[in-house]
Amino acid sequence: MFTGISTPPNPQAQNQSQAQGQGQGQDPVCVIDTNKGRITIRLFKEYAPKTVDAFISMISEGFYNGLTFHRHEPGFVIQGGCPKGNGTGLYIDPKTNQPRMLLLETSPNVRHNAAGVVAMAHFPKNPHSASCQFYITLAPQQRLDFKYTIFGGVIDGMDTVFKITKGDKINSITMQN
């Protein structure tokens, strides 16, 4: 559960419990198919509506298909979704041909308190520069609270999350339902 409580002994079971709790039926779910397996994520539309809408839009465009996880920091995060594959790329809106930046969305109801928290990466010193890159925590990271937009949580596939290393491929991301 991503609500500021201590990390449970079994974060995946806690994440599954969160997915079955408040908001069930409202929150969309997506599946990331990687070369290491599947990761299922509940998207927190209530807490990060603009970020979730942008993420779903990029999924529907197939933006993430074929990209990689360009960052793996053991005990910290895996990060992917960079079109350049090196952490410097942005999403270019096909309608405007301009980079799309997302404003920081925070809530006291979601925190970096477990492995499996999904949030948008942004450029240093600019919390309103998130674009397309996302990360998944590998352990609690409370120091990131209120500095990054948490927009989801892994509800299945933490075994896959822990297998991912730098260069692993995002085959596709699809919406469930």
Per-residue model confidence as pLDDT tens for the chain (177 residues): 223 322 333 444 444 434 444 445 589 999 999 999 999 999 999 999 999 999 999 999 999 999 999 999 999 999 999 999 999 999 999 999 999 999 999 999 999 999 999 999 999 989 999 999 999 999 999 999 999 999 999 999 999 999 999 999 999 999 997
Residue spans per domain, the chain: 30-176
Measured between alpha carbons, how far is 72 from 66 in angstroms, rounded to an integer?
A: 18
Any idea what the Cα angle at residue 151 is, between residues 90 and 58, rounded to 5°?
40
pTM: 0.87
Distances (CA, A) of 19 to 64, 66, 81, 99, 138: 24, 27, 24, 32, 19
pLDDT at 19: 43
pLDDT for residue 1:
28
Please give the pLDDT value at position 156: 98
Q: State the CATH class of domain 30-176.
A: mainly beta
pLDDT at 26: 82
pLDDT at 25: 57
**Can you give the chain as a three-state secondary structure string?**
CCCCCCCCCCHHHHHHHHHHCCCCCCCCEEEEEECCEEEEEEECCCCCHHHHHHHHHHHHHCCCCCCEEEEEECCCEEEECCCCCCCCCCCEECCCCEECCECCCCCCCCCCCCCCEEEECCCCCCCCCECCCEEEECCCCHHHCCCCCEEEEEEECHHHHHHCCCCCEEEEEEEEC
